[in-house]
Amino acid sequence: MAGERETPVEQLTVEQAARELRALAQEIAEHDRAYHGRDAPTISDAEYDALRRRNTEIEDRFPHLARRDSPSERVGAGPAEGFAKVSHALPMLSLDNAFDSGDVREFLARVRRFLGLSPETTVEIVAEPKIDGLSVSLRYEEGEFVQGATRGDGATGENITQNLKTLSELPKTIGDGDIPGVLEVRGEVYMTRDDFAALNRSQAEQGLKVFANPRNAAAGSLRQLDPSITARRPLRMFVYSWGELSEPVAETHWEFLDRIGGWGFPTNPLSRRLTEVDEILEFHGDCEARRATLPYDIDGMVYKVNRVDWQRRLGMVSRAPRWAVAHKFSAEKAQTLLREITVQVGRTGALTPVANLEPVTVGGVVVSRATLHNEDEIVRKDVREGDTVILQRAGDVIPQILAVVPEKRPLDSKPFVFPDHCPECGSVASREAGEVARRCTGGLICPAQVVERLKHFVSRDAFDIEGLGGKHIEAFWRDGLVHGPADIFRLPAKAADIAQREGWGETSAGNLVTAIQERQTIPLERFIYALGIRQVGQATARTLARHYGSLVGWRGAMMEALDAETDAYRDLVNIDGIGPSVAADMTSFFSESHNREALDDLQSFLTVEDAAQPEDGGSPISGKTLVFTGSLEEMTRGEAKARAEALGAKVAGSVSRKTDLVVVGADAGSKARKARELGVQTLTEAEWLDLIGPV
Ligand code: IVH
């Protein structure tokens, strides 16, 4: 996974994103259990935060891939140890997102469709800022504040009553006699930007943890086990919805806001009641323009159907109400100084330029680095050291440099000269035709590549050696404990030395030994992937494993394929999804004697399991090209095509010499004739059904 995790989110494919979200959900849940359940975190807070951030970033770019078990759905990772649990009488919901005016129109149209409203009926919407804080539920019984809870996973949160009592804006009692016996109100606890800056200054002075943004500061302050710490933090609150009520409070959301405002709860003064979509969009634009001048962070607007009876009818889908939507703001931009461009070397030797920036807050996060992707990108944008650049963070995505500000360029500025030698090992860094990356040619003499390859080798989707993270690999490599991949399997013999190292002990060294030994038997596809051959990701590794079946079979075929005149080479490039470019990377891997030696060395430690053959391998039409003609009675053409493809066949539109089979339905015309002329086998529909068998 390391390789994929390093891929900037904006470059991930949908498949990679889905895979990574699944892995992140599992990994974060495991860390949560270690932290909350066993009180034994296995990674640092910063690493943990980075995992959660990556999860959010991917979800922000691919919202449709967000999983039900997503860590972002479990705000604050479920109830933390130390706080009692609170089950919410009514679940605390999240909101669906709208990203543009089309999504907003669709939201309004869906509301109308769902309610079956006539065109003359107006739908009032309350638009209010989406506060970037942390949601809480406040329970009042007979006017007394009795319990306050975090959202937790939406169903169960943490009891933070004592902490919430320290908020000066929170009414402890509600005087008005006309209030329901049970009143749960919900809202957002936040910190203003000024208060956040002051808090961070004081934290830094005392050598304490500084927070990344006001939201984190608010969350961290509220979830203190010691309420006296919370009391010293400048937390504020806006209330915007309700939970359990012993009797209704209002018939509209607007009236609700009005009433709770009267009871002393802070409500957001920017909220508006609107009816026309154009007004709503205009208001969104106004608020977005004012965003930077507001004292607190907002990340969009929330639109709510005003009538409570309609809200009830609209209900919810999964965890979000159908009657509300969050209309996000476009990415926040900021300007800052680009101090220096440095160049990093990755596992495959690719040189990636990185912009080192004067730290700046953009989208609520302090940014000090941004990727410049590659040499061409620097030229295209003419980015230079000393330039003032415009940065953007879309949602939580890694910051992008959009452009430079030409008027702020220093007079003596010079274009950035991309190195033609590796900054890590000094080898020539060359760029092949058609490639965007310049690569270090140092291979195994390049320490950066060696270390990155080792990290990849032990990473989650490769050997998955638990407890052996990137930092350990760097340290082991630096101290000469590992040079190549097989040295990982020599570590158990050095367990006593490892136990003596800083940050290690008998137990952790023992666990590492077990983790390594558990991985000495490995499926072929993981083994191939772990080698980190360029362009051989998980999918290709799986294809290769299935195609060649065993390590011996694969190695043998690759050695033969070094000669492009052989059947082995032709067979390789004919594999679906491989082709000459991937084949070239594979043969260049096998042509290097040090790689072959590394393989021999590894094989002496490992049992590499043969690959399971694909289930459809035995399909009678696997790999064949089919044409359907005439009308089928038992299934539509679309279904027939889908079945054929699922069984590994290709479906073509016209008959040629390359066609293997033509399925002839009723009233077939020229295609059936052509098949007969060319001597291509034909099947009736009944024969076709017989051939493919039941679904
Ligand atoms: S309404 C059933 N209104 O956004 C309605 N939520 O992405 C539930 N939020 O969990 C929420 N400002 O923490 C609502 N004016 C606002 C909000 C707001 C911020 C947060 C809230 C919620 C999250 C959903």
| Pick from 88, 48, 92: nearest CA to 71 | 48
- For the domain spanning 97-328, the CATH number is 3.30.470.30
Q: What residue ranges do the domains of the chain occupy?
A: 4-74+331-408, 97-328, 523-609, 625-692
Q: Say how far apart CA 251 and CA 306 lie, in whole Å.
A: 8
Q: Could you tell me the distance, in angstroms and rounded to a whole number, from the CA of residue 662 to the centre of ligand 1?
A: 57
302 lines ligand 1 (CB under 6 A): yes
CA–CA separation, 454 and 472 (whole Å): 11
Query: With a 6 A CB cut-off, is 94 part of the ligand 1 pocket?
Result: yes
Alpha-carbon distances, residue 486 vs 463, 499, 606 (angstroms)? 12, 20, 9
Q: What type of residue is 631?
A: S
- Integer CA distances (angstroms), 213 to 13, 194, 361, 397, in order: 29, 11, 8, 15
Query: 257-261, 428-432, 507-511, 688-692: lowest mean pLDDT where?
Result: 688-692
Cα distances (Å, whole numbers) of residue 381 to 342, 359, 377, 387, 444? 16, 21, 6, 11, 33
CB distance 241 to ligand 1 below 6 Å: yes
Is the Cβ–Cβ distance between 163 and 220 less than 8 Å? no
Nearest Cα residue to atom 17 of ligand 1: 130
Count of positions (residues) in the chain: 695
User: Has residue 497 got a pLDDT over 60?
Assistant: yes
Asked whether residue 213 carries a pLDDT value surpassing 70, the answer given is yes
Active-site annotation holds for 130: yes
Q: Return the residue whose CA atom lies nearest to atom 18 of ligand 1.
A: 130
Q: Return the percentage of the chain with pLDDT > 70, whole number.
A: 93
* Active-site annotation holder among 130, 304, 328, 671: 130
74 CA → ligand 1 middle, Å: 15
Residues 6+ apart with CB under 8 A from 190: 131, 132, 133, 134, 214, 215, 218, 235, 236, 237, 238, 296, 297
Mean pLDDT of 195-202: 92
Tokens, residue 532: 């980190």
What is the Å distance from ligand 1's center to 48 Cα? Answer: 25
Distance of CA 51 to the CA centre of its chain: 9
| Cβ(337) – ligand 1 distance below 6 Å | no
Residue 1 has pLDDT above 60, yes or no: no
Binding site membership of 349 for ligand 1 (Cβ less than 6 Å):
no
Q: Tell me how far the alpha carbon of residue 141 lies from the centroid of ligand 1, in angstroms.
A: 23
Q: Which of 40-54, 291-305, 451-465 has the lowest mean pLDDT?
A: 40-54
User: Token pair for residue 547?
Assistant: 């195609």
Position 41 scores a pLDDT of: 62
Among 79-88, 195-204, 587-596, 613-622, the minimum mean pLDDT is found in 613-622
What integer best gives the mean pLDDT of the chain? 88
- Other C-beta atoms lying within 10 Å of the C-beta of residue 48: 19
Q: Look at 623 and 151; give whichever has higher pLDDT.
A: 151
Centre of ligand 1 to C-alpha 96, Å, is 10
Bigger pLDDT: 69 vs 272: 272
445 or 98, which is more confident?
Answer: 98
* Minimum-distance ligand 1 atom for the alpha carbon of 151: 10
What are 579-637's pLDDT values in tens digits? 888 999 999 999 988 899 999 999 999 999 998 754 545 678 887 888 898 888 877 77
Compute, in angstroms, the gap from residue 182 CA to the centroid of ligand 1: 21
Pairing mode of beta strands 236-245, 521-523: unpaired
- Classified as helix, coil or strand, 649 is coil
Q: Of the ranges 325-329, 593-597, 665-669, which one carries the lowest mean pLDDT score? A: 665-669
| Cβ of 199 less than 6 Å from ligand 1 | no
The string of pLDDT tens digits covering residues 509-518 is 999 999 999 9
Does pLDDT of 409 surpass 80? yes
> What CATH class has 625-692?
alpha beta
- Are residues 189 and 217 in contact, defined by beta-carbon separation less than 8 angstroms? no
Is residue 475 pLDDT above 50, yes or no? Answer: yes
Beta pairing, strands 85-87 & 156-158:
antiparallel
Q: N- to C-terminal Cα distance for the chain?
A: 35
Q: Are 357 and 345 in contact (CB under 8 A)?
A: no
CATH 2.40.50.140 describes domain 4-74+331-408: yes
How large a percentage of the chain has pLDDT more than 90?
56
- Whether 95 lines ligand 1, by a CB cut-off of 6 Å, is yes
Backbone angles phi, psi at 619, to 5 degrees: -65, 135
Stretch 355-377: mean pLDDT:
87
Q: What is the pLDDT of residue 77?
A: 41
Encoded tokens for 187: 């809202």
pLDDT score of 561 more than 90:
yes
| Residue nearest ligand 1's atom 16 by CA | 130
Asked whether residue 38 carries a pLDDT value surpassing 60, the answer given is no
Q: How far apart are CA 252 and CA 266, in angstroms?
A: 18
- Identify the pLDDT of residue 351: 94
Q: State whether CATH 3.40.50.880 applies to domain 523-609.
A: no
